[in-house]
Chain A
Amino acid sequence: MRRPCRTMLVMITVSLLAAFLGTTDRATGGPAAALVRVGLDVDAGSADPRYARDTSAFRLVELVYDGLVYLDNKVTPEPGLAVSWENPTPTTWVFRLRHGVTFHDGTPFTADDVVYTFESILAPDSKAPYRALYTPISTVEKLDAYTVRLTTKTPYAPLLSYLDIGIVPKHIAERDPASLAAHPVGTGPFMFVSWDRQSKIVLDANPRYWGGAPKMRGVVLDIVPDNTARAAAVQAGDLDLIHSPLSPQDLPALSRAADLSVTKMTGLGITYLNMNTSVWPLDDMRVRRALAYLTDRKTIASKIYQGMDQPATSLLLPGSWAYGRGVRQPDYDPARARALLQEAGFTLRGDVYQKDGRALSIVLSTHSEDPNRVQAVEFLQNEWQRNGIQVKVTTTEWPTFSGGVQASKHQVALLGWLYLVDPDRLLYNQFVSNGSQNWERYSNPKVDALLERGRTTLDRAARTKIYQEAAAILAQEQPYDVLLYQGYVVVHTRRLHGFVPNPTGSLKSLRGAVLAAP
């Protein structure tokens, strides 16, 4: 009888011993070394900036590489590898490059690298996910070793805000096209050291960085997929910094922690309902507007997202230069919704509106990866059903869901757009007739003309007017119902000084930050 008890006792002792033995282990990566540990939700796919497509890859490549420009906290392009630029004609941009910059392997950076980077993105067999942003470029020429000229087919206003993409070293990428994906070599403030897939990426400070050496030994990007586990890790001191995506329900505890600093700001993303204007009953604008009147954005923002995201008013982000208070989509107003449905010829029979013997029914879909979105569609289902609309909810994983939306097989779909650094990025391909992301099959010649003009007008004041006009039409016709302006949240230890949160989610300002000893 005694032996099993003894075994158990030994097991427990060993575990506890191991636990205390290991307390010294935390000190090895400790404060004196000043290695900043950042928690990310997914592993990066590719470390080659041309092929980066997930947010972790963006966070990684911007630490290792530099773009021609850098987008500051107001998303305004600031000099990066280009010290200055001018556009002598509406379709040409001339960039003067920084002298004396070297890649991490010691090779000097020149105009050849810039030309190579953009030509490889634009190559017909390119796998670059954001190739469409650059296709208006017709030629990339080297004028001399430190001058590059970009020519566009037509004037292309948003171009400059897309030139923050990292410049890759030609001599490596050309010789071994796949190598940068796993072993990045850039000109940036941090140099690649090692990568344990699905676990962590280690970077060292670049002592020869042209903008000044970082004040820390390096950065470790730890991959912790579970939101709550990541929040617990920063509270326990196992991580120094985490940022969106975070679960709203973890925020109160993080905000209460005395040794943590929590910053909430407006991000560059929206969460919206995509309404397929080509299918019954959504082909009737009044039905789309009625749904918008039945959408209680304030409650969704405050209860489901706990104030992390803000209720939206239009397609223009509040942080954007194009934002105008005058542009407003319908507010929550069930009475007006019912009036609109009656105007559209629906009559209430029992609990459900009907027209020509057909019940008003809607399929509302979203993807299962984001529990808050699932909650939001369930909330909407309840709200719409109370007001006489039959609602069926479908939630599937992202590839199935997005495949259906991209083929316009949906009715109303809840999803989002991220990284909206320019209004063109949210409006052009999404709303011009036959646009590549016009999944809602919306078509309005007036909107087409406005968005075309917004893209080719270089003057910002003129563009503001154009986008406000377009957004006003779209707020009226409701192919999109914007629910939320996504917030951006950064949580870091108070020992980290000098880190400036950026609405793009960029961690680049870590370069100037200092991690104090505990």
Chain B
Amino acid sequence: MAWYIVRRLVQMLPVLAGISLLVFGLLHLIPGDPAAVFLGQQATSEDIARLRHAMRLDRPIWEQFGEYLWRAAQGDLGTSNFQGGQQVTALIGAHLPATAELAVAAAVLAVAVGIPVGVVSAVRRGSLVDVISMAAAQIGVSMPVFWLGILLILLFALELRWLPTFGRGDPMGAAVAALLRGDGRPLGGSLRHLVMPAVTLGAGAVVLIARMVRSAMLEVLGHDYVRTARSKGLPDRVVIYRHALRTAVLPVITIVGLQVGALLGGAVVTETVFAWPGIGQLLVNAIGQRDFPVVQGTVLAIAVVFACINLIVDVAYAWLDPRIRYG
């Protein structure tokens, strides 16, 4: 297993280089000159040409890419002119934890709500619970993320004044550390800030997982071994959770894994609505400004996270299903 993981990690390197090439190529293909955007409407063409030279944008693209790869391999992703000359690695380091926190909260919510709802809907197929939850799922799937976010803000922040309208509280790690020291306030603040963005981001995944679990459960419940288990006189709870769910949940793991990846991407909109200082906001701003080093670095970071999630999903498969072995 250890050898398998190492091999997978090594295989990631060419994939990441390929992604870098793709992003690099695309960035240079789309119109819009970083130097012109940086200097703004008032700048003269001479100023822009001078800055292009200073930013080394006037050199052949393969030369720029080679230099980028060489430095990236050494852990240097460049600096952002648009963010006051900050190191791209530092910027990503500052934003990634916020997005990870949001994505994990959304994923936990999706699993904690999605799986039970799916199971109940399958077991009580056609019941009122099933009809209501599947109708809610239909609405949930078709509701735009930003709209749900704004609705939540209007209800819970503006009308009820229970939750803050924007921003992130203390980082979760710091908040938990404070709780261990006996101060629960930072954690309360962090959770209050987290609730609406996590619900907004996770709503789509809840729906997807609920529907997935429902159909998988329906299929499994019809299998012989479930009937055998039932005929042995095992209680319903044991049959459903120990036997049926364990099989039904296997494809759900892939979906959850993919969803966490998708959540990283979906975070872009949620982060904008709730002013959540994560990597999505960083990326969107960088694309809008043609801030090449930040776009490249951020996409690379997301790719690494994505690849790691895939690896974790594969390992989780082996752990849950003893028939699967990796060598």
A129-B39, A182-B86 are known contacts. Are A18 and B195 too (CB-CB below 8 A)?
yes
Contact assessment for B163 and A19 in the assembled complex, using a CB-CB cutoff below 8 Å: yes
A4-B115, A46-B84, A238-B157 are known contacts. Are A19 and B162 too (CB-CB below 8 A)?
yes
A199 on the B face (CB < 8 A): yes
**Binary interface profile of A, 44-60, with partner B (CB < 8 Å = 1, else 0)?**
01111001010000000
B38 on the A face (CB < 8 A): yes
Contact assessment for B33 and A236 in the assembled complex, using a CB-CB cutoff below 8 Å: no
Contact assessment for B165 and A45 in the assembled complex, using a CB-CB cutoff below 8 Å: no
Docked Cα-Cα span, A47 to B85, in Å, equals 11
A222 on the B face (CB < 8 A): yes
**Binary interface profile of B, 13-44, with partner A (CB < 8 Å = 1, else 0)?**
00000000000000000111100111111111
Query: Which residues from 159 to 212 on chain A have a C-beta closer than 8 Å to any C-beta of chain B?
Result: 178, 181-182, 196-200
Docked Cα-Cα span, A200 to B98, in Å, equals 14
Contact assessment for B41 and A417 in the assembled complex, using a CB-CB cutoff below 8 Å: yes
CB nearest neighbor in B for A234: B165
Contact assessment for B40 and A53 in the assembled complex, using a CB-CB cutoff below 8 Å: yes
A4-B116, A132-B43 are known contacts. Are A224 and B166 too (CB-CB below 8 A)?
yes
| B178 shortest CB reach to chain A, Å | 12
B185 on the A face (CB < 8 A): yes
- Stretch touching chain B among A260-268, A330-338, A370-378, A400-408: A400-408
Contact assessment for A399 and B33 in the assembled complex, using a CB-CB cutoff below 8 Å: yes
A198-B95, A232-B154, A399-B32 are known contacts. Are A8 and B39 too (CB-CB below 8 A)?
no
B188 on the A face (CB < 8 A): yes
Contact assessment for A25 and B116 in the assembled complex, using a CB-CB cutoff below 8 Å: no
CB nearest neighbor in A for B113: A8
Residues of A contacting B77 with CB < 8 Å?
none
Size bracket of the B interface: 35 or more
Contact assessment for B290 and A399 in the assembled complex, using a CB-CB cutoff below 8 Å: yes
Contact assessment for B188 and A399 in the assembled complex, using a CB-CB cutoff below 8 Å: no
A18-B195, A222-B167, A233-B166 are known contacts. Are A402 and B158 too (CB-CB below 8 A)?
no
Instruction: Pick from B50, B112, B164, B236: contact of A125, CB below 8 A.
Output: B50
Residues of B contacting A133 with CB < 8 Å?
42
Instruction: Pick from B36, B38, B158, B241: contact of A403, CB below 8 A.
Output: B36
B54 on the A face (CB < 8 A): yes
- Stretch touching chain A among B4-12, B62-70, B221-229, B269-277: B269-277
Instruction: Pick from B38, B45, B167, B184: contact of A200, CB below 8 A.
Output: B167
CB nearest neighbor in A for B189: A25
Residues of A contacting B119 with CB < 8 Å?
4
Residues of B contacting A124 with CB < 8 Å?
50
| A484 shortest CB reach to chain B, Å | 17
B51 on the A face (CB < 8 A): yes
Contact assessment for A15 and B241 in the assembled complex, using a CB-CB cutoff below 8 Å: no
B289 on the A face (CB < 8 A): yes
A223 on the B face (CB < 8 A): yes
**Binary interface profile of B, 262-293, with partner A (CB < 8 Å = 1, else 0)?**
00000000001111011001100100111000
Contact assessment for A238 and B195 in the assembled complex, using a CB-CB cutoff below 8 Å: no
Query: Which residues from 211 to 240 on chain A have a C-beta closer than 8 Å to any C-beta of chain B?
Result: 222-226, 228-230, 232-233, 235-238
Residues of B contacting A19 with CB < 8 Å?
162-163, 191-192, 195
B140 on the A face (CB < 8 A): no
A256 on the B face (CB < 8 A): no
A42 on the B face (CB < 8 A): yes
A43 on the B face (CB < 8 A): yes
Query: Which residues from 1 to 57 on chain A have a C-beta closer than 8 Å to any C-beta of chain B?
Result: 1, 3-5, 7-8, 11, 14-15, 18-26, 28, 42-43, 45-48, 51, 53
Contact assessment for A199 and B277 in the assembled complex, using a CB-CB cutoff below 8 Å: yes
B78 on the A face (CB < 8 A): no
| Most chain B CB atoms below 10 A, which of A127, A132, A198, A406 | A198
Q: List the 8 closest A-B pairs by CB distance, nearest first.
A: A399-B32, A4-B116, A181-B84, A21-B188, A18-B191, A22-B192, A199-B277, A436-B44
User: Which residues does A use to contact B, with CB under 8 Å?
Assistant: 1, 3-5, 7-8, 11, 14-15, 18-26, 28, 42-43, 45-48, 51, 53, 124-125, 127, 129-133, 178, 181-182, 196-200, 222-226, 228-230, 232-233, 235-238, 369, 396-400, 402-404, 406, 417, 429, 436-437
Q: List 28 A-B contacts (CB under 8 A).
A: A8-B113, A19-B163, A21-B187, A22-B191, A45-B84, A125-B54, A133-B42, A181-B85, A197-B86, A198-B278, A198-B281, A199-B167, A199-B168, A224-B166, A225-B281, A232-B153, A232-B158, A233-B166, A236-B157, A238-B165, A238-B166, A398-B288, A399-B31, A400-B30, A400-B32, A417-B41, A436-B43, A437-B42
12 extra interface residue pairs, beta carbon distance < 8 Å, beyond A19-B195, A28-B185, A396-B31? A23-B162, A26-B164, A43-B285, A132-B42, A182-B84, A197-B95, A198-B278, A224-B165, A226-B275, A228-B150, A398-B288, A400-B32
